[in-house]
Amino acid sequence: MQSLLSSSVLANPCTTGSPLFPPATAKLVAAASVPVAAAARSGAIAAVSRRSVSGGRCVVAAASSSSSSPAVTTAEAGEVPATMKAWAYDEYGDGSVLKLSDAAPVPDIADDQVLVRVAAAALNPVDAKRRAGKFKATDSPLPTVPGYDVAGVVVKAGRQVKGLKEGDEVYGNISEKALEGPKQSGSLAEYTAVEEKLLALKPKSLGFAQAAGLPLAVETAHEGLERAGFSAGKSILILGGAGGVGSLAIQLAKHVYGASKVAATASTPKLELLKSLGADVAIDYTKENFEDLPDKYDVVFDAVGQGEKAVKVVKEGGSVVVLTGAVVPPGFRFVVTSDGSVLEKLNPYLESGKVKPLVDPKGPFAFSQVVEAFSYLETGRATGKVVISPIP
């Protein structure tokens, strides 16, 4: 696999050879990471492996914290390692193209970016589509470290960064446009570089795993409702209410926008979940066809690709938000824009518990199980979000 982000990679003071897979570094990083991962899995302290050069030799030290959530020490630029563990692929295809590197280069940061020590990440359908090459014409160059959603701790800040500082716990969607030049070095790694404007402070009431499952999904739900002109007193039908976006669309519509009526579809075992999220009407799609029911809605939010049926239950003058599948007027599709200010706006609802992240009960998946996590995501049966935590 060729050098990743070779134009912006920090020079490695401890190794020679390939910048992506220096053999000596791979062994050293892997050895240093064992107690870190073990501590994180036990729910105790988390440590950050740091690499420095002293007298021509490479020194690895571990810093610990008594915090109950995965912690990262504040680090100056010289303390950030040159290499990291990361999942990457250098060709498009199925999950088998994903490879774990012990010595991927840590991305450098631009003046408006921060370097985040990743504590947790989450997968989205767009991650699988991107890996499969569905939008290679607008993708960043290979090789790619996948991942959009991140939660972690700022360890380095660019000169133009004003609102965030080292030690801040943050979360966000690291690529401003999911399909247009998404970041080559994503969140399925120990470190990722992110523009300050795409991040928000993590709600204190949420753990890193919960926060990581929010950004892209909640921004998609929010932007879809905004584009549809949704507002207090309106009704909405959400197709796929138990999924990552659907579960948040229910909560935003009910608890943030003040919907008069929220209906949602799911399979039989998930109907009570829909009601707990705020749905007034839970429709079992295995037993009823929503398009045959008498109710009509101001907005239909289609997260599962049933646009041709969705238009049959929208009121005249209403809107159909389509995330996947065919688009039939008055349906529309959009590409979500990552925006930290949206997360900041929603933080009070997350802090209060009015809006809750939904992490699939099979997770969080371990960092070593990223291939398995992708396979599960692609079954389309996940409830809420597929989360990877702790990292590494």
Please, are residues 119 and 208 in contact by the beta-carbon 8 Å criterion? yes
So what's the pLDDT on residue 368? 98
First to last CA, the chain: 21
Domain annotation for the chain: domains and CATH numbers: 83-202+359-388 (3.90.180.10), 218-333 (3.40.50.720)
What pLDDT, on the 0 to 100 scale, is given for residue 79?
83
**Residues 313, 290: Cα–Cα separation, whole Å:** 8
Overall average pLDDT of the 136-143 stretch:
97
Contact at 8 Å (CB) between 274 and 241?
Answer: yes
The C-alpha atoms of residue 234 and residue 64 are separated, in whole angstroms, by: 50
pLDDT at 38 over 90: no
The per-residue pLDDT for range 234-290, each reduced to its tens digit, is 999 999 999 999 999 999 999 999 999 999 999 999 999 999 999 999 999 999 999
Please state, for a pLDDT cut of 70, what percent of the chain lies above it. Answer: 80
Residue 201 in this model has a pLDDT that exceeds 70: yes
What is the C-alpha separation between 166 and 170, in angstroms, rounded? Answer: 11
The number of angstroms, rounded, from the C-alpha of 258 to the middle of its chain's C-alpha atoms is: 26
Rounded Cα distance between 29 and 40, Å, is 16
Query: Is the predicted pLDDT of residue 155 greater than 60, yes or no?
Result: yes
Q: Is 44 exposed, middle or buried (0-12, 13-18, 19+ CB in 10 A)?
A: middle
Q: Read off the pLDDT of each residue in 344-366 and give the average, rounded to a whole number.
A: 98
CB 140 within 8 A of CB 182: yes
User: What is the arithmetic mean of pLDDT over 96-112?
Assistant: 98
